[in-house]
């Protein structure tokens, strides 16, 4: 599908690879040209869209459902009865409580991003850890595959620690006194 716009001299997004063949110079020798930066941005639009739109759409549905659930709770009704403005009720009482399960989902999606990156980097021929893992499995290069799995495990443990630290900021029940 990308050949038709190219033949008609229409603007198009490049389907794969990290950069065009015509820009195969090494950019860190000398100044970085604006053409090289634009080429990199155009080549990254489709992979970034694939990796983010899937996650963001699920996150937005989840936070909406969580917010609707929290807005029906008694403490939100009590905050409104105390005469607080709607903005204070939403931000201070409802949003902080709705973010508690959302923090868990968003933090654990970071290691899950690598599994999506394996497919995305392979489809778009983008050089990265996902494609490295895919090629290592195909070539029976077990040390490289184990290294990628180790990095993913470290990311999962780090994400768990980050989740616990973020809970202290988000959860209104946790107080330091």
Q: What is the DSSP letter of 146?
A: H
Instruction: Please give the Cα distance from 126 to 119 (Å, whole number).
Output: 10
pLDDT at 118 over 60: yes
Instruction: Please give the Cα distance from 137 to 88 (Å, whole number).
Output: 53
Report, as an integer, the average pLDDT of 149-171: 87
Report, as an integer, the average pLDDT of 83-89: 93
Average pLDDT taken over every residue of the chain:
82
- The pLDDT confidence band at residue 150, using thresholds 50, 70 and 90, is very high
Q: Which residues contact 18 (CB under 8 A, 6 or more apart)?
A: 40, 43, 44, 125, 126, 127
Domain edges within the chain: 32-170
Q: Exposed/middle/buried for 43, CB within 10 Å: 0-12, 13-18, 19+?
A: buried
Report, as an integer, the average pLDDT of 19-37: 59
Predicted model pTM: 0.66
Residue 167 is predicted with a pLDDT of 86
């Amino acid at each position: 599908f990308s050949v038709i716009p190219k033949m008609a001299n229409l603007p198009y997004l490049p389907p794969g690879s990290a950069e065009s063949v015509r820009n195969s110079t090494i950019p860190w020798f000398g100044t970085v040209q604006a053409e090289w930066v634009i080429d990199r941005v155009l080549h990254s639009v489709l992979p970034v869209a694939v990796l983010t739109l899937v996650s963001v759409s699920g996150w937005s549905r989840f936070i909406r459902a969580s917010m609707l659930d929290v807005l029906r709770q008694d403490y939100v009704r009590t905050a409104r009865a105390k005469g607080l403005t709607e903005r204070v009720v939403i931000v201070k009482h409802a949003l902080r409580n709705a973010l508690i399960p959302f923090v868990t989902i968003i933090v654990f999606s970071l290691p899950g991003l690598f599994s999506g990156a394996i497919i995305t980097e392979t489809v778009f021929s983008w050089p990265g850890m996902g494609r490295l893992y895919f090629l290592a499995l195909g070539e029976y290069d077990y040390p490289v595959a184990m290294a990628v799995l180790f990095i993913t495990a470290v990311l999962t443990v780090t994400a768990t620690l980050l989740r616990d630290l973020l809970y202290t900021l988000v959860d209104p029940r946790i107080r330091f006194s």
